[in-house]
Structure formats: C-alpha cells, structure tokens
Chains A and B, each alone.
Chain A
Amino acid sequence: MMDDENIITQLSIFVNNEPGRLASVAGVLKDCNINIKGFNLAESTEFGILRAIVDDPDKAFEKIKSKGVIVKKTDMIGIAVEDSPGSLFGAADVLGKAGINIDYGYAYSGKDFESLFVRVDDPEKAVKTLRESGIRLIKRSEI
C-alpha cells in the first residue's frame, strides 16, 4: 500500500445477494462501531460487493476480518469535483489521455466539498497525473 496522503483506503466486503445479507454485514460494521463515510454496492446475480470508505480503515479492516467476513483493502483516489457542469469531464479526460483505466467510482458528499472516489488500475500514476494537471485531490485527513 502506498504511503501517500492522497491514497484513500477502501474496504470491500463480499455480500451474498439474498434478502437480509446487507443488513447482516451492516450489523457487523455497527457492532464494530465503524462509521461509513461513503459507500457503493455492486451486484452480480448471486453476490454483491459492498465498497465503503470508513473512519480508520486499518483498524476497521482487522475488526471486520475477525468476524469472519471476507474483506479486502483497496487503494482509491478522491477527486474533488465542482458542483458545476463538466467537472467530471476534467478528471476523466486527464486519466483517459494518460491511459489510466477507471474500474469503478462513486460520488461522495463531504461537509465542505463534493468528490468522486475512483478505483484505477494504477493509483500512483493517477495521483501524479491528476496533480500535474492541477486537479485537486482529496487527502485522507479531509474525509
């Protein structure tokens, strides 16, 4: 894992796609006293993947793992987006031109700013490219 303040750790949790399964995973997060800042759900026919940005992800990871739940850490980057037309285009265009693929992403509304969390195939290069293009990235401490 990169030690860069712009690299944000996401926890991904495997959830069976059955009624009540998300609730039971959410229950684990509650029991572990984990606060979810932003999340996204991806689903296939029989399973889903809950992706969450949480407070103190390393500690949360250990807690969730100890409950026997499949959890994985993933490096994400947070891109600040203006509340105006074309702001998504700016960042996506920079990444696209640099040949960096966005696997998935989801929006996050913080107290002071809007942002987009994205999972890219090369986070290090993405951070560098976006910085050079003058696009503001969200720091871990800002979430």
Chain B
Amino acid sequence: MSVTPQQSPRLAQQDHWRAMRRETPFHPRLSALDFRHDWYVWAGCKAPLSLWDEELEYFAIRSQAGLFDISPMIKYRIEGPDAEACCERVFVRNVARLRPGRVHYTAWCDDEGHVLDDGTLFRLAETRFRLCCQERHLPWLLDSAIGFDVTVVDETEAVAGLALQGPTACAILKDAGFAGIERLKPFDLAEFPHEGGAVTVSRTGFTGDLGYELFVEAADALSLWDRLWEAGARRGIRAIGYTALNRARIEAGFIVANADFIAAEHAIRADRVRMPDEIGLGWLVDEAKPHFNGRRAILDARRRGTLKHILVGLEIEGNVPAEHALVYHARKTEVGLVSAAIWSPMAKRNIAIATLSRPYGDTRNDDLWVEIYAMREGQYMKLMKRATVVPRPFVKLDRRTATPPADC
C-alpha cells in the first residue's frame, strides 16, 4: 500500500501532546493572578484549585463577587427544527416548558434509567439549545439525534465561560455596561453586546448565591474578563479556584457527577449506577411528558419500589467535616457513605451529602450516625457523631432570587 502524504488540518493538530493540559482562553489572566501554582485538571484543562487563598476566595463568593473560569465545562449545541423534540427524547425534564431565553437544570439516563449525567440546558432560541455538563456525551447525543432534523456540535473549546457569583455580581455587571441585567430573573438568559459580538448571560450558578454565567466566543474571552475586572475593582471582585467554589456548592446542596454519584458510562461495577430518584433528582422526571430514554425503567422501579439508594443532606453534630465517612444506623449497621462534607461557614453547621441504602434516609431517619476518622498529628481521632437528615440547600439566600437584586 503506497503512502501519499497529504496536508490536512488533522495533521496540523498532531503536536497537541506537547501541551497535555489545555489552557483555557482566560489562562493569561488567571496565571497573572495565580501565586500558588495550585492547579488541577478539569476535563483536560489546567484549572486553579486556588490562586491566592481559598478562605478569601470563598468569602468573595458570599460577601463580594467571585470570578470563576467555567470554560472547561463540556458544552454541546443542539440545533435544528427538531431540537425540542430531540431534547425531549433525551432529557427527563419537560423541554416544551422551557421557553426560549430560559435555562433549566436537568438530567438524562440510559435505557435502564441510570443517570448518565446532570447539567443545565439553555434554550438560546426556539430551535437552538446549549447543554452544559461535567462529562462527555457526544456519541450518546448523536445516537439520540438519529431520526431528528437536528445537529449536535461540541462547542467546549469554541465557547469560553465565566461564572460571576456573589452579592455584588449584578452591580458589577451593571457597572460594566450590561444594561438591564437587573431585570434577569433566576434561570433567565439574555444576550448583551460585547466587542462587536455578543455575550450570553444567564442568571445561573453553582453557589446558591446571586450570580451569573457568561458565555462568549473564545476570541472575545480576554476582553470580557477585563471588562468585568475593571468594573469589579470597587466591588471586591476576586478570581477564585475550585476549592472555594466547592464549599459554596455543598452549602447549596448541588451534586457533582463522578463524585456524589457515578455516571452510568463510567460505572465499571454494575451496582454503582443510579436512577434519578436515587440521587435526589426524582423531581426532574416528568412522567407525563413524551417518551424519553429510561422512562419505562424509572416508572417500573417506582411502581415496584425497587429503588435501592437515596441521596440526602445530613447535618452532623460537632464541627469536624465528615468527608467520605461511613453512615451507620444505631451506631452499628452500615447504611451509607458521605460523598461531600464541610463545615459550613454560612450556616455555621457541619453539613454533608450522603448516599444511603433505603429505607434509611427515606422512611427510617432516626438514630443515624457517622463515623469520622480525623487525622490529627499522626493519629486518627475516631468520632461517632449523630446525623440528622435535613433538606437541601443547607444555605438558602433570599438574594439568590430577589429581582432586581440589591444595589441595582
């Protein structure tokens, strides 16, 4: 077989391995503000755990405004005359009720009703959606699109994203010239002009606070950052890393795929998969909407009562975080595991997200305990602490929903 070398765009990308971690479009700004060199890998990108001090970064979210680069988030554009019908087939939540200019949180399942991922679905126009999520799903979405007049495109690298979260977020955007931003209600989205192009702003976030997410073409990323940074100087804007965001998201009671539950396509062990009702997402499932993947299995499990697990919020006595602690009933029967836990600086409580085996966490919530192994100077301090099932979010802030927000 003869070899006929051909120049192609594919060949031009051959050297990608020389930079194993992609730097996001905001990287020049992040690295200029980074003093800790405390990076982690998010979906193949270099992303900061913290830039200066995680405590200060957390309090920026709660008292001023934290600026977080969400560019690594996986983003798919689903577009075409049948986009709504296709999304209706994929997602458990009713898509017809999602009007253009709105966003909703949703989840999608395989045919056995096991959750593939959760994410936010943006209805940018009547026939154009953007899905933001943690894991990659292109084959699943392309297969689901068969028979629909719709295209599915990965726009993860083409679109840059920023989350501006905190009490002064609205005021910063207003100062930066986003006229009318204060009229956005939670889960609204709107386009604003930027550098001859446009930036899509939604009133969404992962913090349970007042906050916005901004999406822009990668080429316009730096000018958008500068625009916010300049306007935010007087209102305490601070670039933050994931450690601070993670605290805020636990307080808000949000879950993370492959941390608080195992996404079905990643589960090597067959018993690790979860139905929406087993990870606290049962409320998303619309039984009455047109058929969607996994519907029959979910309804069967509900009817037969075969759901094995439940995801709950726990409040634990004391102040020692119970990360990855075992949960017991009556101090001796193992009934579950904590997947995320912190001492909540806002609630001043010891909080946790845990998965329990039903009926514990469901109908039997008395007498729950967590066993905390706290490593202190070369020794485990073993603590058995009482746990109470409490509703999520652990921290509920009126400013998250107030429209218009304060200062605006």
Q: Do A and B bind each other?
A: no
Instruction: List residues of A whose CB falls within 8 A of some B CB.
Output: none
Instruction: List residues of B whose CB falls within 8 A of some A CB.
Output: none
